[in-house]
Amino acid sequence: MIPDPTDDDAFIEPGRKLFAQPCDFIWGAAGTESLPPLGAPEIAFAGRSNVGKSSLLNALTNRKTLARVSHTPGRTQQLNFFTLGDGLRLVDMPGYGYAAVGRAKVAAWTEGIRAYLRGRPTLLRVYLLVDGRHGLKPPDSDTMDDLDRAAVSYQIILTKRDEVKVAEREGRIAATLAALQRRPAAHPDVIFTSSKEGDGIESLRAAVARLLSERGGAASGKMPSPSD
């Protein structure tokens, strides 16, 4: 049974099953000249170097070491590709906004990311991670500009919810939504997550399952359904 595309709750169980599938590293690309051949649909995860991207990927896939968690920002220095089952690839993108690795390397990463975003027809969406403690910063806005120009669909995922005061959470979401109003490629929903506490992880899995359904993943038999 294909979930009702108008009912977000209908995608919670397909999302759980989707991310319960085997997930394995398959490819590392230092630049667009070394990207893997086109294949399954891809979703990419981008964000500043200290935003908690590796922790989120590990939480999504119920693994501890899928993506390397480091206390040193900037450790992901290439596009890392993972297969999720047979029907989806996850792409861990190099973090941006951390100049301590050297300006030349930051510039090379930035251009490589832009080239990937402009020319990857199998890329369904970018999940842009933003530190929930601070909200959108200029480097995040610059990345959103690139995504808008490239007409690449993206959705903001706020991270570190457990480190944000309860009284400030709704305001952080509201401010983020307001910043997206005139962004042509932005998804209208924001998900606030905590990799440590698990907040928002179920919703993000469901959002990915819904995306696959909308883009034909369920029709091709690649997305688990509630009856599987």
CATH number at 37 reads 3.40.50.300
Taking CA atoms, 107 is separated from 28, 103, 123, 127, in Å, by: 19, 6, 22, 21
- How confident is the model at residue 33, as a pLDDT? 79
Domain that holds residue 137: 8-214
Please give the structure tokens belonging to residue 196.
């440590």
In a domain, 92, yes or no: yes
Does residue 145 sit within a domain? Answer: yes
Sign of CA dihedral 180, 181, 184, 186: positive
Query: To the nearest whole percent, how much of the chain has pLDDT over 70?
Result: 81
Domain annotation covers residue 2: no
pLDDT tens, position by position, 127-147: 999 999 999 999 899 999 989
What is the total count of domains within the chain? 1
Q: Are 144 and 186 in contact (CB under 8 A)?
A: yes
